[in-house]
């Protein structure tokens, strides 16, 4: 199944700058290029494998015009929507005993299907024990493969229809990873960069945001880098089939959730 990789975007600078989405071929400013869509094995389902270096390169290429015509949402002053969820995190900085919490609020007005699925998974305690297996500082932190292969096997086939993108992928927003249209299941990423709006046109629809504790999110262990096969980090296929047994043995420093509860 194809994973999200680098993407071609129009640039606003007169100097040529590389940009990317699902294309692995960089393009130059205000020129056309043939897009080459890379495919990876099904072991990397729901992964978008853009390297941190590529993400940094793309960040400078984001145009304000990318959001022109995007539907906007508003909530009345003082109004709260969705549900507030507290995540307890262990192994911060890759150190046993380092713990912290962050609060996430779902936003059904942004992406109702995504928000509902995330709340359902929280109710079923799906996140408990999940490792944050892909952490690329200044870009994204990715999680959402359950530590029990039997549990993950069930959810892997529960595809969710897409929500239209109503808000931008700004720092702190929470989004489902995808393997293409209507393929969202359980994998999630938190945007940790402030120049990730290039994800908007690729259909990545935020369904919530971290409302406090981004300092904790930033301390999730990143030392293993990009996942296999492009990097030395965990292989998603092995996480799917072997679960936390594989991660605890081969990647013991990964940060993980001990509990996620509604507040």
Q: Is 64 buried (19+), middle (13-18) or exposed (0-12) by CB count in 10 A?
A: exposed
Q: What is the pLDDT of residue 96?
A: 97
- Of 220, 212, 151, residue with least CA distance to 186: 151
Q: What is the pLDDT of residue 79?
A: 58
Mean pLDDT over all residues of the chain? 79
pLDDT score of 175 more than 90: yes
Mean pLDDT of 122-128: 98
What is the chain's Cα-based Rg?
Answer: 18
pTM (global) more than 0.85: no
pLDDT band at 40 (very low <50, low <70, confident <90, very high): very low
CB atoms near residue 133 (< 10 Å): 25
User: CB–CB of 56/138 below 8 Å?
Assistant: yes
Mean pLDDT of 25-54: 34
pLDDT band at 80 (very low <50, low <70, confident <90, very high): confident
Q: Which helix (H) or strand (E) holds 191?
A: strand 188-191
């Amino acid at each position: 199944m194809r994973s999200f990789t680098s993407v071609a975007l129009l640039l606003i600078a007169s100097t040529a700058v590389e940009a990317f989405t699902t294309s692995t071929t960089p393009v130059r400013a205000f020129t056309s290029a043939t897009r080459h869509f890379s495919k990876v094995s099904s072991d990397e389902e729901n992964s978008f494998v853009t390297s941190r270096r590529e993400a940094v390169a793309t960040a400078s290429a984001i145009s304000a015009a990318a959001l022109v015509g995007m539907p906007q949402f508003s909530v009345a002053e003082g109004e709260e929507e969705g549900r507030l969820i507290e995540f307890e995190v262990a192994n911060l900085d890759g150190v046993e005993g380092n713990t912290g919490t962050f609060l996430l609020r779902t936003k059904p007005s942004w992406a109702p299907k995504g928000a509902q699925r995330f709340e359902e998974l929280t109710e079923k305690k799906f996140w408990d024990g999940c490792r944050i297996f892909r952490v690329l500082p200044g870009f994204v932190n990715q999680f959402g493969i359950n530590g029990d292969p039997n549990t993950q096997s069930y959810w892997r086939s529960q595809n969710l229809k897409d929500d239209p993108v109503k808000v931008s992928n700004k720092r702190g927003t929470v989004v489902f990873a995808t393997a293409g249209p209507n393929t969202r299941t359980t994998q999630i990423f938190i945007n940790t960069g402030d120049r990730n709006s290039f994800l908007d046109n690729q259909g990545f629809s935020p369904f919530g945001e971290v409302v406090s504790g981004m300092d904790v999110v930033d301390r999730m262990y990143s030392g293993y880098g990009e996942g296999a096969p492009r990097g030395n980090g965990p292989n998603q296929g092995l996480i799917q089939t072997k679960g936390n047994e594989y991660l605890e043995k081969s990647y013991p420093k990964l940060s993980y959730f001990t509990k996620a509860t509604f507040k």
